[in-house]
Structure 1
Amino acid sequence: MSLPKFAATRSFHTELKTRINQYFEESGRPMTGDSGLLLKAILLVGTMVALYVHLVFFTPAAAWALLECTLMGCVIAATGFNVMHDGAHGSFSRFPWLNKMAAYTLGVMGGSPYMWNSKHNLIHHTYTNIEGHDDDIDVKPWMRMTPDQPKHSLHRYQHFYFWALYCMLYITWIFAMDYQKYFTRQIGAIGLKPMNAGEHISFWGFKALNLVLFVVLPIYMVGFLPWLAGFFLSMAVAGFVLSMVFQLAHTVEDAAFPVPHPVTAKLEDEWAIHQVRTTANFATDNKVVSWLVGGLNFQIEHHLFPKISHVHYPAISKIVQQVCSEFDVTYNNYRHTRSAIASHVGFLRQMGRAA
């Protein structure tokens, strides 16, 4: 399968970059995160460590332990949104070593930083919502996420059962999908570049570390059944929260799913317009939501400028909206989280019932 080719015109993207660069020059602020983001990272990682230590080494009562496991799942997701995500894009800090440390939190939590960089930074951020290339919309055969995917009778009910399926994301990610990509050397239709010795060691080292921290040691300390209940609960909560935030950004009724020309593989839009058309924001006026999800409710700004930290998204979103208006590019924005969720459910219903 040939890689899609974007239209050669870049006037929209050029204008966006000019105005965004002007904003940072006039404000005198760096494009990376600030001290507030560092404090948030310390708070989130510290909370995760404290919960882990209390659950594993102090064995609270069952009801309290389940509550803490639920909170652990939320904190894992929040750490991914706020710390790992910016670190992986190199926007967490102006210090490269601090970006690497932030990105490596994913390894401790069970994922592979190498696979994430390939799947998310390189492929998803380039070929967003393009069937066969964007791995984020490939949930086959369990769900139909694009108009170009095959439809099965089961999909008619996907807007009912997706809640349970999303709970399985994190578990399948760290115990199956990373390994599938590693051994097949493939993400969707795109082959992975050869890994060097350090990348192989990093992959297996983080997998082993996560197994020891989240499987072996807890079973030894609290027993198999208590570990199984707590582990599944925390992973299910983390998986559901992660799934919902990322799905609200791209699989909603107003998002586009462009199809490359079958012969030339060309797309109608330039890359930046493609990113806006395939992406949606939600609850951008809600500071609590923005704080919790690491600015990923400003997904349009993130896709256009992934190397700019999310702490700047509320400010630059005004610039992006203005340029979109001038170029007659639709800026998808759901005012509330609930309206974005309703649109996602409506989209799943539509995909399940379409011919």
Structure 2
Amino acid sequence: MLFTVCVYGALSSESCLVHLVYGGLMGFVWIQCGWLGHDSGHYLIMIDRKVNLLAQILTGNCLAGISIGWWKRNHTTHHIAVNSLEYDPNLQHMPVFVVSSKFFDSITSKYYERKLKFDTLTRFLVSYQHFTYYLVMCLARLNLFAQSFVLLSNKPVPNRGEEILGLLVFWIWYPLLVSCLPNWGERVMFVLASFSVTVIQHVQLTLNHFSTSVYVGEPRVNDCLEKQMNGMLNITCSEFMDWFHGGLQFQIEHHLFPRLPRCHLRKISPFVKDLCKKHGLPYDSASFYKANEMTVATLRAMALQAHDLTKPVPKNLV
């Protein structure tokens, strides 16, 4: 319904302000598509697997332009290796972001199968990452588009034909809709508005892990629960705002029970807290505002360390 409203508003109105508003609403459409893709990737939200796959391709590939196959591959790895600097792709954002000084040693990514080089350009960008964080998140969707194309063109993916067709649908309807706007100024404004609103979701995806404990090495079964609990942060919010966070506000519960529908995460939260208390495990949570503060503080700390690396060594220490 929201998608239909956005299309109707963009085509029926001649107001620049209205086009700006509906461009922003398109960003909210993509955010909700992301939550639906996340849910349908973890468990069946439809009557059977084939219909569930159709829902995934419609919400991910067709409406949002992001390969559901790429998301599954990326997100499953993240669940297995939460906050492993070598294995978790959700922490491997060089050259723009670094959350640990261990990245300064040019860690080899086991997910991307290449060395993440901490070169001069990376050092420069990381030195200002606490200033560029939100700006980069406004354009983070471009990276998701690129990752989708790279995966479907280079890797064997289940239902590859359907996925490629879904992406083609997106790259037909969205440019066509934008081209219907009266001038280039409003077209650029519409695109920037739709991309910028999704900054909410991209920020949400980083708040749960950027400021928490990280480690080097592969995940192991004997300390899996401890690593999971140390690497996650819940977002404290009222039940009324659960739709806004899409289940990520209960990151701990979701990682412990990834196939549990998000509508039940709040119900099991008290039991998870008791479990953590019983076994002496951390159960960290913060408000949305505080989590943003913690994330920026982490980025700032790494930025200052990266900046110090550019300073010349004093002669008396050579």
Would you say same fold, with TM above 0.5? yes
- Structure 2 runs not aligned, ≥5 long: 105-117, 307-318
Preserved CA contact (<8 Å) 2:95 2:125: no
Query: In the TM superposition, what are the counterparts of 1:92-131 in structure 2 within 5 Å?
Result: 92-93=45-46, 95-104=48-57, 105-108=59-62, 109-120=64-75, 122-131=76-85
Identify the structure with bigger relative contact order (alpha carbons < 8 Å, sequence gap 6+).
1
Is the aligned partner of 1:85 residue 2:38? yes
SS in 1 for 2:128: helix
Preserved CA contact (<8 Å) 2:178 2:191: no
> Structure 2 CA distance, aligned partners of 1:182 and 1:131?
25
Report the aligned-residue RMSD: 2.1
Provide the aligned length of Structure 1 versus Structure 2.
287
2:254 to 302, 313, 331: 302
The Cα of 1:333 is off from its aligned counterpart by 0.9
Query: In the TM superposition, what are the counterparts of 1:201-220 in structure 2 within 5 Å?
Result: 201-220=161-180
What's 1:51 paired with? 6
The Cα of 1:232 is off from its aligned counterpart by 2.4
Distance 1:137 1:311, change over 3 A: same
> Structure 1 CA distance, aligned partners of 2:29 and 2:240?
15
Is the aligned partner of 1:271 residue 2:271? no
Question: 4+ residue stretches of structure 1 with deviation over 6 A?
Answer: none
> Structure 2 CA distance, aligned partners of 1:94 and 1:301?
25
User: Which amino acid in the other structure matches residue 235 of structure 2?
Assistant: F
Preserved CA contact (<8 Å) 2:100 2:302: yes
> Structure 2 CA distance, aligned partners of 1:302 and 1:101?
24
The Cα of 1:223 is off from its aligned counterpart by 5.1
- Structure 1 runs not aligned, ≥5 long: 1-45, 186-193
Query: In the TM superposition, what are the counterparts of 1:1-355 in structure 2 within 5 Å?
Result: 46-55=1-10, 57-81=11-35, 83-93=36-46, 95-104=48-57, 105-108=59-62, 109-120=64-75, 122-150=76-104, 152-174=123-145, 176-185=146-155, 194-195=156-157, 199-220=159-180, 222=182, 224-238=184-198, 240-252=199-211, 255-260=212-217, 265=218, 267=220, 270-284=223-237, 286-334=238-286, 336-354=287-305
Distance 1:339 1:91, change over 3 A: farther
TM-score by length of 2: 0.83
User: Which amino acid in the other structure matches residue 211 of structure 1?
Assistant: W
The Cα of 1:222 is off from its aligned counterpart by 4.3
Give % identity. 22
> Structure 1 CA distance, aligned partners of 2:50 and 2:97?
39
TM-score by length of 1: 0.75
User: Which amino acid in the other structure matches residue 140 of structure 1?
Assistant: M
> Structure 2 CA distance, aligned partners of 1:245 and 1:352?
21
Distance 1:266 1:154, change over 3 A: closer
Q: Deviations over 1:62-117 (max 9, x none)?
A: 01110121122123213322x22111111535643453343220112100011111
> Structure 1 CA distance, aligned partners of 2:210 and 2:293?
11
Distance 1:161 1:96, change over 3 A: same
User: Which amino acid in the other structure matches residue 270 of structure 2?
Assistant: K
Preserved CA contact (<8 Å) 2:140 2:202: yes
Preserved CA contact (<8 Å) 1:324 1:331: yes
